[in-house]
A = this chain, B = another copy of it.
């Protein structure tokens, strides 16, 4: 059984059982055996992280940045091993996905986090020289527990993914819980992290990792007095359970749960580019076998001849052979359930709807159609996220019904509006945009939502239940770091006791600070 990374060493788990990953392309168990850690492991990790914070209350940003960069470089040296392992555990294609897209996204995120950490502007240092009050964001004072999703073995991995990078760059220890779908991939990443840590001179227990734990122990971890915060990406049910546990204990909790990412296609958008639009939609719905949190699960149109043509084009595309595998037996089973639930709710099946025979977990591209009236009668049924290449076309009777549908949307990560050139759809756009705007974290024009750029201006977040708080993004530096930070104010504190970021002299000569109402990189 593989050891866990606790207390600055790889050591045998105090386990309550074991598990093995499954190759989704064959359905066969993979050889390595991983432990299910009990509370003893989890509490040991928390205690050690607490001691790290006690001993090193302020970790040097330059050193943290060098660690993140060393980690990125170390990963690149192990790319083959990592890609091969991820391929076997997720069945995601090596090209173009794992090797040339997701792997470099992961290392790029680590490097962007390193830059933001070294640059220090993320902490929004704010100085009132007249009153001698100074504040900044700083570490939370407890380790952050990171639980990653199954669908990004690299870019959202609890070790090396975006949350991990943000937690470290904000100066906090990490306790990562592997997604049980890809323990081997996480092991390869964690080995790299550990090597980079050894070379960084940082405390070795800054990064700890367990493979798995029972759900009830996950809740205890979320609510533990020593826990600083929790970051979770995954299903709504698990997210809500963790949120309740963390909320009750007063722990900050950041969740990325489920989203159906509505795409609204206004009538003018069909002019000229109906076929292209159908192809874009199909790509966004089926890429990665539809297993993206930003996959469009609802496509809303108004009734008309061009809409019918568009629906036909989409139906033809969905009728083709699906690419790729579902990530797990569970994903497969939930997709079967989602199809059954949509049929029960009265949706018309236009394409797919069935499992494909083995080996591996495969499901047809699946397209449903409902009327606006059906949607409005049972908005919950049609807003249940179905992970996989499945989407629902909603044909509204008229603009008013379209607006009513948008009004019935839950909180989502994204919402897209396709409209005609110039003023073609102006009136309808202006009717629905304000309603959609407050339901989504990211609003797109003439663009599908899949593909989340790692940009300082990105918001990969949105109103509940897409996430737990509408003010935070899980992607993009430096903003994502501020999730894992406490606001620290210094009132009349002696100059030599201030953290470097708040002293009169700008610590880097380049860091942005908000001094007496002006953003500046100057000294005081």
What residues on B are CB-neighbors of A36 within 8 Å? Answer: none
Q: How far is the CA of A74 from the CA of B519 in the complex (A)?
A: 33
Stretch at the interface among A210-218, A376-384, A387-395, A465-473: A465-473
Contact partner of A470 (CB less than 8 A), chosen from B53, B140, B434, is B140
Q: Note all chain B residues with C-beta closer than 8 A to A57.
A: 434, 437-438
Q: Which residue of B lies closest to A57 (CB)?
A: B434
Write the chain B residue with the least CB distance to A407. Answer: B54
Is the Cβ of A243 less than 8 Å from the Cβ of B252? no
Q: Contacts A57-B438, A442-B491 given; 9 further ones with Cβ under 8 A?
A: A54-B435, A247-B247, A250-B463, A429-B497, A438-B486, A443-B488, A461-B487, A470-B486, A512-B519
> Closest approach, in angstroms, between the C-beta of A249 and any C-beta of chain B?
8
With A250-B464, A435-B54: A482-B471 Cβ-Cβ less than 8 Å: yes
**Interface residues as binary, A233-270 with B (CB distance below 8 Å gives 1, 0 otherwise):** 00000000001100111111000000000000000000
Q: Which residues of B contact A486 (CB under 8 A)?
A: 438, 441, 463, 470-471
A445 touches B494 (CB 8 A): yes
Say whether A464 contacts B517, CB under 8 Å: no
CA distance A128 to B459 in the complex (A): 12
Number of A residues near B (Cβ < 8 Å) is 77
Which of B249, B456, B492 is within 8 Å of A444, CB to CB?
B492
Closest chain B residue, CB of each to CB of A499: B437
Write the A440-465 contact mask toward B (1 if CB under 8 angstroms, else 0).
Answer: 01111111000001011111010111
Select one of B54, B456, B485, B514 contacting A128, CB under 8 A. B456
* Contacting residues, chain B, for A243 (C-beta < 8 A): 247
Asked if A491 meets B444 with Cβ closer than 8 Å, knowing A141-B463, A470-B486, A471-B486, the reply is yes
Most chain B beta-carbon contacts within 10 A, residue among A247, A468, A487: A487
Q: Which of A100-108, A130-138, A152-160, A325-333 lines the interface with chain B?
A: A130-138
List which A127-183 residues lie within 8 A (CB) of chain B: 127-128, 131, 133-135, 137-141
Chain B residues positioned under 8 Å from A248 (CB to CB): 244, 247
